[in-house]
Amino acid sequence: MSEARRRLILDLDTGVDDALALAYALGSPGVEVAAVICSYGNVSMRTVVRNTCAVLDLLGHPEVPVFSGADRALDATAPFAPSAGVRRIHGENGLGGASVRGWCRMAPQSALGYLREVATRGDDVEYVATGPLTNLATELVNVSGLGGALGRVTFMGGALAVPGNVTPCAEANIANDPTAADAVLRGGLKTRMIGLDVTHQVVLTRDDTAAWRNLGTPAARFFADMVDHYITIYRQNNPQLGGCALHDPLAVAAALDPSLVRCLSANLCVDLEGPTRGRTVCDPDRLRDAEKSCEVALEVDAARFMDYFRVRVTRALS
Ligand code: CA
């Protein structure tokens, strides 16, 4: 599939692997990041705004508009604050403790006004969410015609045939707001799920971060520091992987080139109660429906993705 003149709206909770996803997008030929919408998730929403602006500045793209989004799950009564476990994985600042600078920017506006313009104009954009699905659930309710305008939305999250990474059943982005994810998956929107089934098959190692250090740019050093922290934690939590999983970059890659993954067509829902809360599962009530709204990635061409990743991220960091 051609990637010429593709425009992306990225819905991020930046985050180490969100930063990598941003670099992948900015380093992709013929791709424009039209906007970034921020979500709570790896860190608070305010910190996500700061991190997103910092990474955009570092990568030489301060012109990309950054919008604010949800600061908590749909059912939450207080703004999100990351757990000790999440702070350990992504670092206290969400970027592996790598030094963040140059993020002075105006307070961002809500994404809803921007998305109303996108829906009204019928812009040809790909929407990729790599955080909780709270923003998307809220936007679909508040922006009329958005679902039709966006076409198929790609999200990183969920686990169909593999265990979760927060509980034995739940993946982190879904676990952060199961209600929102269920609303998105049962709301008629066409989606593409890039879950742990495939993201644990694409792994970055210290050989790659060493190559970035050799580039010698501030951006490359920053990304090497950030990802080395992430790999250290992965070695403790997931030693069998041999590096860190590239969750969010794979979602961007699959949105731009769906042939990177092979999918099961299914109608999904999310378990909202009990010990399986946060599990993505085929919806028993829609099992026999001819129309399937979600393409669930179960296989990935890992070698081709890693080639793309190395070339594109190196371009973004150079
Ligand atoms: Ca993320």
DSSP structural state of residue 67: E
Tell the residue number behind the tokens 């890992």, with chain if given. Answer: 302
Please indicate, yes or no, if residue 1 is contained in any of the structural domains: no
In this prediction, residue 100 has a pLDDT band, given cuts at 50, 70 and 90, of confident
Distance 288 CA to ligand 1 centre (A): 32
Q: What pLDDT is stored for residue 104 in this prediction?
A: 61
> What is the C-alpha to C-alpha distance for residues 239 and 232, in angstroms, rounded to an integer?
10
Distance 177 CA to ligand 1 centre (A): 13
> Do 133 and 177 contact (CB within 8 A), yes or no?
yes
pTM of the model as a whole: 0.96
Q: Look up the domain containing 295 and give its range.
A: 6-317
Please indicate, yes or no, if residue 286 is contained in any of the structural domains: yes
Distance 249 CA to ligand 1 centre (A): 9
Share of the chain above pLDDT 90, in %: 88
Distance 158 CA to ligand 1 centre (A): 12
In this prediction, residue 3 has a pLDDT band, given cuts at 50, 70 and 90, of very low
The answer to whether 247 is a known catalytic residue is yes
| CATH of residue 256 | 3.90.245.10
- E strand map for 108-225: 126-129, 152-156, 190-194, 203-204
Cβ neighbours around 120 below 10 Å, total: 13
Distance 310 CA to ligand 1 centre (A): 19
75-101: average pLDDT: 87
Distance 106 CA to ligand 1 centre (A): 23
pLDDT tens digits, residue range 20-56?
Answer: 999 999 999 999 999 999 999 999 999 999 999 999 9
Please indicate, yes or no, if residue 134 is contained in any of the structural domains: yes
> What is the C-alpha to C-alpha distance for residues 170 and 36, in angstroms, rounded to an integer?
26
Please indicate, yes or no, if residue 80 is contained in any of the structural domains: yes
How many structural domains does the chain have? 1
Distance 259 CA to ligand 1 centre (A): 22
Q: Is 220 helix (H, G, I), strand (E, B) or coil?
A: helix
Catalytic residue among 90, 200, 229, 247: 247
